[in-house]
């Protein structure tokens, strides 16, 4: 039996069985369904297959994934020296993913802090993983732009592949959205414009990012905005052997329709779609499409109508909505065709003007008209909140008047005495 289909050698399945979320037989049924779906071209994960079979629910899958990430972190700690890695002195772990971990480290030779990404050892690392990691280092070193995280060096040390990148003090756009729910329109447009400039530079060098999303956008403490993670970046001139036909590349919540369909040839306009989905999330506090499985989300990107951003943020300008809709057009030919045109519109709307390159044709657009019911719910909620504020202020005013009368009475008694 192939390694991927063996329950005893499947990391997710082993943890799920250990947690008593499923039985070995149920895991095997899920693996069989996953294999069937993948044979038809779908990039289905085992968790999704188990959800489709009603053997696990979304919450249980997330719990198993969380435990899997915890074990990966423990494994990464055991593989890397606690304090020193070559010329890098490790300070703290910044994050961990499927391919490896990222640490804040100090380059003792150059006397600067770096973000050190190391490829995790000990688990199943395929040649494709290594090629992707090396491609990220190679691609990033070719790009020098204020809106792209700089790469200083990459290589192999003590059998561990590493990538030393610019350390950005701040947070990700994902963290800011989680903290604030919605990013104010002027800030969101500015962030999108800066990322568009970085994408324009990458596209001019023949590279398509292919994974633009909030967690790959870094917001520096000083106000700079930088695009990170070129692990999926791909040249439009070649490198075709690294992506198989039908393979989905990107993050389901933000990927373009053509990526969801496994299109093999990279296209810069796919990055614009993903930036549009990211901007939608920042402006509304929710992802463009939401469903129980990643497969359903991808199908919605392909053929679903986009919920109107004003349903979730009625105060958005028409210009901002027009830009989002043009960015997220289903057909590549109806999106922005250049980063320059996109930046012009973003900066124009940010100044209070109108977009010049994003005329909104509702007859051809995939956006849904504003939902009257949703708008009425928002108005009612705001009216209720206003009543509460007014009532509290009224109580505060009455209390203030009472306190004033008491003070005057006490002062009169004091003077009489």
Q: Which helix (H) or strand (E) holds 380?
A: helix 372-416
Q: What is the Cα Rg of the chain in Å?
A: 26
Angle at 133 between CA 294 and CA 84, to 5 degrees: 120
Strand spans (E) along 43-159:
84-85, 88-96, 100-107, 112-119, 151-157
Catalytic residue among 25, 32, 75, 211: 211
Measure the CA–CA gap between 139 and 167, rounded to whole angstroms: 18
Q: At what angle do helices 268-284 and 185-204 cross, to 10 degrees?
A: 170
Kindly list the distances between the CA atom of residue 79 and the CA atoms of 92, 128, 158, 165, 295, in Å, as whole numbers in the listed order: 15, 21, 10, 20, 34
Neighbours of 281 (CB within 10 A): 22
How far apart CA 271 and CA 232 sit, in angstroms, is: 12
**3-state secondary structure at position 293:** coil
Q: Where do the H-state alpha helices sit in 19-126?
A: 24-39, 46-52, 58-79
Q: Would strands 207-208 and 234-235 be described as parallel, antiparallel, or unpaired?
A: antiparallel
To the query of whether residue 32 is one of the catalytic residues in this protein, the response is no
10 Å CB burial of residue 159 (0-12, 13-18, 19+) is exposed
**Biggest alpha carbon distance in the chain?**
101
Q: How far apart are CA 276 and CA 334, in angstroms?
A: 13
Catalytic residue numbers, as ranges:
211
């Amino acid at each position: 039996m192939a390694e991927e289909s063996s329950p005893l050698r499947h990391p997710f399945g082993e943890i799920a069985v250990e947690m008593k979320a499923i039985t070995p037989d149920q895991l095997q049924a899920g693996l069989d369904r996953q294999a069937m779906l993948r044979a038809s071209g779908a990039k289905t994960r085992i968790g999704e297959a188990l959800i489709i079979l009603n053997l696990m629910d979304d919450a249980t899958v997330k719990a198993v994934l969380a435990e899997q990430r915890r074990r990966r972190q423990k494994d990464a700690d055991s593989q890397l020296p606690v304090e020193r890695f070559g010329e890098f002195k490790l300070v703290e772990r910044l994050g961990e993913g499927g391919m490896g971990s990222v640490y804040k480290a100090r380059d003792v030779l150059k006397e600067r802090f770096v973000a050190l990404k190391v490829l995790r050892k000990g688990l199943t690392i395929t040649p494709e993983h290594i090629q992707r990691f090396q491609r990220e280092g190679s691609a990033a070193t070719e790009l020098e732009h204020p809106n792209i995280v700089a790469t200083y060096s990459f290589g192999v040390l003590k059998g561990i592949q590493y990538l030393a990148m610019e350390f950005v003090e701040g947070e990700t756009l994902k963290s800011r959205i989680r903290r604030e729910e919605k990013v104010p329109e002027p800030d969101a447009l500015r962030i999108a414009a800066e990322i568009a400039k970085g994408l324009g530079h990458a596209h001019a060098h023949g590279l398509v990012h292919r994974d633009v999303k909030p967690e790959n956008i870094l917001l520096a403490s000083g106000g700079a905005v930088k695009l990170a993670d070129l692990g999926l970046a791909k040249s439009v001139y070649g490198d075709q052997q690294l992506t198989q036909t039908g393979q989905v590349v990107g993050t389901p919540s933000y990927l373009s329709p053509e990526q969801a369909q496994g299109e093999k040839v990279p296209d810069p306009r796919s990055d614009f779609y993903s930036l549009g989905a990211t901007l939608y999330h920042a402006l509304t506090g929710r992802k463009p499409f939401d469903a129980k499985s990643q497969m359903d989300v991808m199908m919605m990107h392909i053929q679903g109508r986009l919920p109107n951003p004003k349903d979730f943020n009625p105060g958005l300008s028409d210009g901002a909505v027009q830009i989002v809709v043009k960015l997220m057009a289903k057909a590549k030919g109806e999106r922005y065709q250049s980063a320059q045109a996109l930046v012009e519109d973003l900066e124009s709307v940010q100044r209070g003007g109108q977009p010049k390159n994003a005329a909104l044709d509702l007859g051809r657009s995939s956006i849904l008209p504003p939902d009257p019911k949703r708008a009425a719910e928002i108005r009612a909620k705001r009216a209720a909140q206003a009543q509460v504020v007014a009532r509290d202020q009224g109580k505060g005013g009455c209390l203030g008047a009472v306190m004033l009368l008491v003070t005057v009475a006490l002062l009169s008694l004091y003077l009489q005495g």
